[in-house]
Amino acid sequence: MKKRNLFSSLLDWVWESRSDLYENMTIRDDDEEVNVITKAEHKEDIEKVKEKVFDAADRGSFRKWRFLYKILAVVFAVFFSAVLLITVGQLPKIGEINNPANNEVEKRYIEKGLEETGATNIVAGMILDYRAFDTLGESHVLFVAAIAVTILLRLDKSERDPEDTKITETITEAEEEDKIFEPHHDAILQKVAMLLVPIIILFGIYVILNGHLSPGGGFSGGAIIGAGLILYLNAFGFENTERFFNEKVYKTVIFSGLAFYALAKCYAFFCGANGLDSHISKGIPGHILSAGLILPLDIAVGCVVACTMYAFYAMFRKGGL
């Protein structure tokens, strides 16, 4: 690949005349329907298909159309942003205290928030107590995304016929492929990881536990812990992580976290809506063990998010935990 200066590569990026991503990726093939082909073959194959689909006569017009397309795209973007700018021009000024957005709702959140939720972090109190329904949905968005990714990427042996050759070949091939990324007793990486991973995970736990007192909370903390796990995986490989983290653990954690979240919130909503007293003490504001349900919910969300992040990585890498 010839060296190009920054500007020209930027230009290429914009005009897509050639895409780095596309050029540099190794072409690997994993199923029978599309036979193994080199890049050149693939190119001319595409050309053939194009001939087939748009007849050869108007290839030139086809190219023209591609060019026109780009122009139109820019025009569209300009027009769209113009519309938005006109809108913004009519919006209330930023930062004014008497904007419509700053109304009784946020006053109450700030004034009563502490005593009603017991959380000094008003945002945490808001998303986990006042508007907890949204957050419940949000955590399930993550869940359903994880499920969809699993459907797409998980390779597993069929139970109907365990010696289904195609799928087993695919799995072994994927693992072979994965060996490329496996560490080969990379001393530096492993030592640094041994140093860093505990710190990262500890920090994540700290962020989770202080979600109701300081910036942070379940999601961010969980993401940090996930990052720690991924670093560990990269340093020590699957056979080490599988000892303490396999699919079963993953499923159990996800289920228990989400189910606990849903049921606890259901209880809270039920009591609140029917005017019953949910015997959940608010505790002393500012202490770790305070703010009623917020702390346990944070922990649950944290576990779920950590596992999901790790699972995403593992799926992307070799199609399975």
Partner 1 sequence: MRDFVQNFPLFSIILCLVSSSASSLLKGKAAKWVNTVLICVVGAMSLTLTFYCLAHGSFTYTMGHVPAPWGNEVRGGVLEGAMGTFFCLIMLLSMTGGRKKLLEEVEDTKQNLYYILVNLMLCSLIALVYTNDLFTAYVFVEINTISACGLIMIRQNGRTIEAAVRYMIMSLLGSGLFLVGICLLYDITGHLLMSNIKESVQALVESGQYGEPLLIAIAFMMMGLAIKSALFPFHAWLPDAYGYSTISSAAILSSLVSKGYIFLLIKIIYRVIGFEVVRESLLLNVTFVFAGLGIIFGSISAMREDDIRRMVSFSSVAQIGYIYLGISLGTQVGMVAAVFQILSHAATKSMLFISAIGLTDASNTSRKFKDLTGSAYRNKIAGMGFAAGALSMVGIPLFSGFISKLLFMQAAVANYGKMLPTMIVLAISTILNAIYFMKTVVRIYSPERDLYKGREGFKVIHTREQIEYTCTVILFIALNVALGLCSEPILELIGKGLEMFA
Partner 2 sequence: MNTNLLNNYAEAVSMIIFAIGFTNLLLHKNLIKKIIGLNIMDTAVYLFLALKGYIKGHVAPIIIDGVVEPEAYINPIPSGLVLTGIVVSVSVTALMLSLTIRLYKRYHTLDLDEISLRLKKEGL
Q: Which does 255 bind (CB under 5 to 8 A by kind): partner 1, partner 2, none?
A: partner 1
Cα–Cα distance between 315 and 319 in angstroms, integer?
Answer: 4
Instruction: Tally the residues of the chain.
Output: 321
Partner in contact with 114, chosen from partner 1, partner 2, none, beta carbon below 5 to 8 Å by kind = partner 2
Secondary structure class of 108 (helix, strand, coil): helix
Q: Does 34 bind partner 2 (CB under 8 A)?
A: yes
Subset of residues 123 to 142 that bind partner 1, contact rule: CB under 8 A: 129-134, 136-138, 140-141
Q: Does residue 123 bind partner 2 (CB under 8 A)? A: yes
**Which distant-in-sequence residues (6+ apart) come within 8 Å of 180 by Cβ?**
none
Helices (H), 180-292: 187-209, 218-236, 238-244, 247-273
Is residue 142 close enough to count as binding partner 2 by CB under 8 A? yes
Positions 25 through 44 that interact with partner 1 (CB under 8 A): 33
Tell me, residue by residue from 214 to 233, as one string, x for binding to partner 2 by CB under 8 A and - for no binding. xx-x-x--------------
Per-residue binding letters, 96-125, with partner 1 (x by CB under 8 A): ---xxxxxxx--xx------x---------
**Integer Cα distance of 66 and 62 in angstroms:** 6
Binding to partner 2, residues 256-275 (CB under 8 A)? none
Residue 226: CA count within 13 A, CB half-sphere:
21
Nearer to partner 2, 193 or 307 (CB): 307
CA dist., res. 126 & res. 142, Å (int): 20
Q: Please report, as residue ranges, which positions from 143 to 202 form the binding site for partner 2 (by CB under 8 A).
A: 144-146, 148-149, 152-153
For 126-138, b/e burial (b = at least 16 CB within 10 A) is bbbbbebeebbee
Nearer to partner 1, 49 or 194 (CB): 49
